[in-house]
Amino acid sequence: MPKSSIVSHPAENPDSHHHKNFIETEVEKDFGTKESLQGRKIQTRFPPEPNGYLHIGHAKSICLNFGLARSYGGQCNLRFDDTNPSKESQEYVDSIQRDVRWLGFDWDNLFYASDYFQQLYDWALQLIREGHAYVCDLNADQMREYRGTLTEPGRNSPFRDRSVEENLDLFLRMKNGEFAEGARTLRAKIDMEAANFNLRDPVLYRIMFAHHHRTGNDWCIYPMYDWAHGQSDSIEGITHSICTLEFENHRPLYDWFCKTLRIFHPRQMEFARLNLSYTVMSKRKLLQLVTEKHVDGWDDPRMPTISGYRRRGYTPESLRNFCETIGVARFNGVIDVLVLENAIREHLNKTTSRYMAILDPVKITLT
């Protein structure tokens, strides 16, 4: 693993004037300074969903998670959050691994959320038995209506008070494929009047008859992201689950799951995602560009994907230097694309040879 481009290494850079970012400060509050870790190790992870190629925004998360582990003598896992088989494929798994390595990093462990499907199912049974989850027959539109609004509390589902025995029976039948897609879901029983929408009885499992790129047709119920993510962190012993800011209001749910299940509780922290001026980074929109053939694949040099920048001539060092330059912030902002262009220009100025050439020579005869 190369020297981190977001977190510094004082031992390797004795003259560095690096100032700790807020995540490093919080890590040292939890673990002590680098000199006083006393055998304790930070454990981070980079958890992409394999539903597209990595874009420039992912480079920041890669540098941060792998860099923290390197800086504090810990480990960083690569984990694929493969819980939505209808949008995922092995092609994306392969491309993500290739891009992480090209950036100059390597993972200590390679995991998949699908590795934990049985454990997640068993924990769901635990929630049902303890009265914390129920099978709901509301469809998506009805559920949205019952959820309420920002100014109005939600209403309890008419199926919320089913008995433990009935919920266990229905959930098993969901797993066995006895119901159609969308007919039933498993929901956590939290608080339909909570100010935070994520706590209004979120869905844990939905029925989906889709071939999974790893588990095949073994499962027809799949965990939602919020249910799989935190518990996967817990299973792997992740100490600091570092997410972008859009997951900040998911943190109470993350904490609720860990506390209710009485399992190892990682700490979730959020940082500002990378927004680049004049640059589209929505996976959905990038996929549309590819499927409608507006571009020549995910690695088209016009695409803001890591593989696209690679084809354009960017170097891994320039992308890491760019991530170092923009730093780690608490609040979202827009970075001028010129900062990225300057990063490759500065790196090439230092590392490439310069030659003079005449592209359209004119023959001159000397007499």
Q: Which domain holds residue 158?
A: 117-226
Select which of 187, 283, 310, 320 is catalytic: 283
Residue environment code for 131-146, b if the CB has 16+ CB neighbours within 10 A, otherwise e: ebbbbbebeeeebeeb
In a domain, 360, yes or no: no
Assign 200 to helix, strand or coil: coil
pLDDT, mean of residues 83-95: 97
Q: How far apart are CA 287 and CA 96, in angstroms?
A: 15
Q: Which tens digit of pLDDT belongs to each residue from 20-72?
A: 889 999 998 888 765 555 566 899 999 999 999 999 999 999 999 999 999 88
Number of domains in the chain: 1
How far apart CA 101 and CA 111 sit, in angstroms, is 16
| pLDDT value for 7 | 39
DSSP for 43-85, please give it. EEEE---SSS--BHHHHHHHHHHHHHHHHTT-EEEEEE----G
49 included as an active-site residue: yes
Of all residues in the chain, what percent carry a pLDDT higher than 70? Answer: 93
Say what the pTM is.
0.89
The CA angle 107-7-341, to the nearest 5 degrees, is: 95
Exactly one of 49, 166, 248, 346 is catalytic; name it: 49
Number of neighbouring beta carbons within 10 Å of residue 124: 23
- Distance of alpha carbon 169 from the chain centroid: 34
Does pLDDT of 350 surpass 80? yes
Of the residues 79, 206, 273, 320, which is catalytic? 273
Identity of residue 179 = F
Query: Is residue 7, in this structure, part of any structural domain at all?
Result: no
124 located within any domain: yes
pLDDT of 31: 81
Catalytic residue flag (residue 273): yes
**pLDDT for 17 beyond 90:** no
Is residue 86 included in any domain, yes or no?
Answer: no
**CATH assignment at residue 131:** 3.90.800.10
